[in-house]
Amino acid sequence: MSPISQGGEIMLDLNLIEKIEEKTDNLIEKAKKLVDKEFEIEKNKKKERTTTTIYRELDVSQIRNILNMAIETDSIKALILFIEYQIGRKKIPQKWGDILIEEIKNIENLVNEISTENKEVYLKLIRLFLGYLNRYFIFKKKQEEDKKEKTNE
């Protein structure tokens, strides 16, 4: 079934919307795992490595920029290129950015469970995933800031 466009926004038929909503918990779990995932980074010029999480390394605006790009474009390749651009600018750690790109590509598996090669469904799922990622990131970032504030008192 084809999407219906209304006021520039893609409207999906009720059947597709219900199938997308069935994947919500899956997308939330993927987003939470990615935010909580530990990865290694170089912590100084001596190339010493440390393990961290993304909410300790990034500002909220970086995740929001990725979400905004996903909302503004209808091109999955443009979104991935933007993430690669942010990695190149050292705004996002390489290892985490690569995992994010892989997760975005893996969302296509969920699309295949919902409908056959429907780009609008793929974009909708990516946008939902990044929205959940953004919300959970903000939650974890605030927890981390509160924890630091308490230890500094």
pLDDT digits (tens, 9 = 90+) for 44-78: 667 777 888 888 888 999 999 999 999 999 999 99
List Cβ neighbours of 65 (8 Å cut-off, separation of 6 or more). Answer: 82, 86
pTM listed for this prediction: 0.84
27 vs 42, higher pLDDT: 27
- How many angstroms separate the CA atoms of 16 and 105, rounded? 20
46 vs 94, higher pLDDT: 94
Region of poorest pLDDT, from 34-48, 114-128, 129-143: 34-48
